[in-house]
Amino acid sequence: MTINLVDDVKVVEDRLLDNDIVVSFNENGEVVQIQILDASKRGLVKALISVAKSKKHLLSKIIKLSK
């Protein structure tokens, strides 16, 4: 699962954390993207969809992330 924190993602550095999360930084050292490896195996996608059902406008965005 990839979560873009800004519209124009320009990654210059990635850091792999111990828990299979990749944090990406731009040229200013700001976090612009977070990747959760094997998110579907961890059940995170299903959990996000469940939460999003109460927030209909988020559901389509989360479904796109899960593909």
Whole-prediction pTM value?
0.65
Asked if residue 60 has pLDDT above 70, the reply is no
pLDDT of 40 reads: 79
pLDDT at residue 1 in the model: 85
Residue with the bigger pLDDT between 22 and 63: it is 22
User: What's the DSSP call for residue 60?
Assistant: H
- pLDDT tens-digit readout, 7-41: 888 999 999 998 889 999 999 999 999 998 888 78
Amino acid code (one letter) for 44:
L
Which residue would you say has higher pLDDT here, 49 or 26? 26
In Å, the largest CA–CA distance within the chain is 36
Give residue limits of the domains in the chain: 1-36, 40-67
